[in-house]
Amino acid sequence: MYSAPRILFAYLNYWFRASSGKGHGIHSPFVYSFIRDVLMDRRTHPSWASVEAARKKLKADKRLLQVDDFGAGSVSGASRLRRVSSIARLAAKAPRYSRLLFRMVAFYKPAVVLELGTSLGLTTSYLSLANPAAKVFTMEGAKEVAAVAREQFQSLALQNIRLIEGNFDQTLPVFLKEQGVINFAFIDGNHQRDPTLSYFEQLLPHAGNDSVFIFDDIHWSEEMEQSWAAIRQHPAVRCSIDLFFIGIVFFHKEFQEKQNFCIRY
């Protein structure tokens, strides 16, 4: 992971490079609609309050969990004790981004949603509430963390989520064997270059024309910047949008010219 000053520098670089998304300059009607109808939509949704109440409780939850460490910077097989409160503060995506994902699911109505990296299930809950008709699959390797996520899904009465426990290295290929098109994938676990590229490559055969894949923390390290560069340059990706903390890719074959956007959010 980059140091805090290095991330700040990368962020400033993004901010000055990025388009405001307002006014002219975005010639793609698809991206223009994404900006107007999804990115800049300022409405709130009544269901968000229940997830934020759950977040508040989790932030005050002093239970200690044994957390198996799979992600970037981990020693293979290592585990350590972490408080639920600390996981809720540090691992969960901020509401602003979970709500953006909610709006994307509500707008594009993907039938099959996949999240890699459930953690305590806060973003999963947003994905589930955005379209109760969607099937939401979420994967988590840390057993005790997954158990707390299950508690959340139960207490929020979310019926359309299936949580798959285990290391992505084993669970993802098995899951994908059973799946056709994945309409929406949020890759938010194991922020290292090779695993991220491997998840992308495994998911690619499941990308339909209207699929959207979202990668988290694309600028948090040199490795993640390398994986984001490789993903957006992939010939199957017809449009990419860099929002700094997340990167979004679309596969529409009718986009004859590949377009890479960097938009302020």
Ligand X SMILES: C[S@@+](CC[C@H](N)C(=O)[O-])C[C@H]1O[C@@H](n2cnc3c(N)ncnc32)[C@H](O)[C@@H]1O
Which residues here bind ligand X, judged by CB under 6 A? 70-71, 91-93, 115, 117, 119, 122-123, 139-142, 145, 167-169, 188-190
Q: Which residue is nearest to ligand X (CB)?
A: 141
Whole-angstrom Cα distance, residue 40 to residue 141?
34
Which residues is 65 bridged to in the sheet?
Answer: 82
* Shortest spacing between CB 147 and ligand X, in angstroms: 12
Query: Closest CB to ligand X among 128 and 190?
Result: 190
Q: Of 31 and 101, which CB lies nearer to ligand X in the complex structure? A: 101
| Least CB distance to ligand X at residue 70 (A) | 3
Cα dihedral 211/233/186/182 (nearest 10): 30
Nearest distance in Å: CB 9, ligand X: 23
Of 167 and 226, which CB lies nearer to ligand X in the complex structure? Answer: 167
- Write down the least CB distance from residue 141 to ligand X, Å: 3
CB atoms within 10 A of CB 11: 13
64-68 vs 239-242, strand pairing mode: unpaired
Residue recorded with tokens 């390290």: 221
What gap in Å lies between CA 189 and CA 170, rounded to an integer? 14
**At closest approach, how far in Å is the CB of 139 from ligand X?**
6
- Dist. CA 185–CA 153, nearest whole Å: 19
* Helix (H), strand (E) at residue 185: strand 184-187
Residues 6+ apart with CB under 8 A from 206: 176, 179, 180, 181, 182
Written as one letter, the residue type at 21 is: G
Pick the closer one to ligand X by CB: 122 or 207. 122
Nearest approach, Cβ of residue 188 and ligand X (Å): 4
What's the closest the beta carbon of residue 223 comes to ligand X, in angstroms?
14
Residue among 14 and 245 whose Cβ is closer to ligand X: 245
Cβ 153 vs Cβ 163: under 8 Å: yes
Smaller CB distance to ligand X: residue 26 or 139?
A: 139
- Of the pair 119, 259, the CB lying nearest ligand X is at 119
- Distances 244 to 19, 80, 147, 161, 197 between C-alpha atoms, Å: 12, 30, 31, 28, 18
